[in-house]
Amino acid sequence: MRISELSERSGIAVATIKYYLREGLLPPGERTGPNQASYGDEHVRRLRLVRALIEVGGLPVATVGDVLRAVDTPDLPMFSLLGVVQGSLISPAPAASDAEWERAYETVRREMDRRGWSMKPAQPVIEALTAVLVRAAQLGYPEWGETVLPAYFDGARIVAETDVATALSAGERDAVVDAVVVLTVLGDTALAAIRRIAQAQVSLEKLRSDSAPSA
Amino acid sequence: MRISELSERSGIAVATIKYYLREGLLPPGERTGPNQASYGDEHVRRLRLVRALIEVGGLPVATVGDVLRAVDTPDLPMFSLLGVVQGSLISPAPAASDAEWERAYETVRREMDRRGWSMKPAQPVIEALTAVLVRAAQLGYPEWGETVLPAYFDGARIVAETDVATALSAGERDAVVDAVVVLTVLGDTALAAIRRIAQAQVSLEKLRSDSAPSA
């Protein structure tokens, strides 16, 4: 199909598609003339993925490029690929004093050790979590590393088991990679939304049990 | 303290503090002269909260204003306040065809009904979750509403129970409100990070069990 049809089918303006082509987010079409190229279904699909990473994942275009280059490197080990995807989809850590940072970092490591989680995950992820604990302490909640963190680990473990099983069930490497990227970017938003739904439900149950007459 | 000291203690530039004052994100100081005002510890604390909402929550300044106005309305019922906070901290839903939308929305409602979750949560939250399922279907994963969603509900429920208990344990209304806002904004990032740590751990365990010699 021509770029005009690609634009129609994807709902993305021709100028934007040309920008993605220049930035390498989209592989070039098959050249059919001096100023013309032909595009296939894989371009429609890739455009959807780019929009999901930008709109749902909130990634800058340059970072989307990093993720897609990793996805397109056929001999990159799955673990390195996971690292790139996971590292990209997390906010950078803010500044904190060494002492605050050290204390929060120790809390994270202790929680992982307690569970026997020997995996060294991508460093940006550990830093992002450490940064959250630093922030919480700065905002007056230094105890959350002890009181709140364990339940978050329990909940995240249940979600991660389904994440990994779902991604692996996709079959071939390319399909697994695609599922990992889509699930990672969409999963955060889904989890944030469901957490709020669950909070509302738990609050309601609490309200009901508090106002019920005691036996 | 004077604005220069407030700037030093909070690490935020005087010009930025003045901007927050103009936008109503920070209550005015106590006037001590025609061009001078005095600020207290509550201003230091409020500035930290504003930065957390902007930097961790990724909220635009106008939305931070909405959240803080809700926080500062003493007779706003807790449930309405939760709705404002939760609704602000979620991305707006993208466009989708009516049929795609209807199908995804039904999946969300069915999962809630199955659990007996009678609470009607803030509408933006349901829409955000529906939008994720629409996106997943558009990207080739129409089955995720059935296969992935239940585990996300299970995990989110565990997290939400701790969220609500932690917020309520803060005591007075003002303290509870503060804890809700901070926990909501920091919790998403924490959960996203821990989910990635758990994914890495689950992948490692899977790899080990796959490569273990069969008995």
Residue A202 and residue B156: Cβ atoms within 8 Å?
no
Structurally, at CATH architecture level, domain A3-77 sits in Orthogonal Bundle (1.10)
Q: Percent of chain B having pLDDT more than 70? A: 89
Place of tokens 């059919």: A32
- Check CB contact of A86 with chain B, cutoff 8 Å: yes
Window B:92-121, CB contacts with A under 8 Å = 94, 112, 117-121
Looking at residue A99, its pLDDT comes to 86
Return left, alpha or beta for B26; rule: phi > 0 is left, psi -120 to 50 is alpha, else beta. Answer: beta
Count the Cβ atoms, other than its own, within 10 Å of residue A112: 21
Using CA atoms, how far apart are residues A61 and A86, in angstroms rounded to an integer? 16
- Check CB contact of A211 with chain B, cutoff 8 Å: no
Q: Taking 60 as the threshold, does the pLDDT of residue B209 lie above it?
A: yes
- 8 Å CB contact between B89 and B57: yes
Looking at residue A95, its pLDDT comes to 62
Place of tokens 């994270």: A108
Measured between CA atoms, the residue of chain B closest to residue A109 is: B197
Looking at residue B194, its pLDDT comes to 93
pLDDT tens, residue by residue, B125-162: 888 899 889 888 888 899 999 999 999 999 999 999 99
- Check CB contact of B54 with chain A, cutoff 8 Å: no
Residue A93, min C-alpha distance to chain B (Å): 9
**Beta bridge partner(s), residue A31:** A37
**What tokens does A95 get?**
């500044």
Using CA atoms, how far apart are residues B89 and A171, in angstroms rounded to an integer? 35
Residue A45 and residue B162: Cβ atoms within 8 Å?
no
Distance, C-alpha A124 to centroid of its chain: 12
Measured between CA atoms, the residue of chain B closest to residue A152 is: B159
C-alpha distances out from residue A25 to A15, A61, A65, B73, Å: 14, 8, 6, 47
pLDDT tens, residue by residue, B57-93: 777 888 888 888 888 877 777 667 777 776 666 665 5
Residues of chain A with pLDDT under 50: 215
Q: Residue B7 — pLDDT band, cuts 50, 70, 90?
A: very high
Fold for domain B3-75? Multidrug-efflux Transporter Regulator; Chain: A; Domain 2 (1.10.1660)
Residue B188 and residue A202: Cβ atoms within 8 Å?
no
C-alpha distances out from residue A56 to A89, B76, B84, B145, Å: 10, 32, 21, 17
Looking at residue B212, its pLDDT comes to 67
Looking at residue A160, its pLDDT comes to 94
Interval B111-130 mean pLDDT: 84
Q: Taking 60 as the threshold, does the pLDDT of residue B215 lie above it?
A: no
Looking at residue A7, its pLDDT comes to 94
Count the Cβ atoms, other than its own, within 10 Å of residue A209: 8
The full set of domain ranges for chain A reads 3-77, 86-211
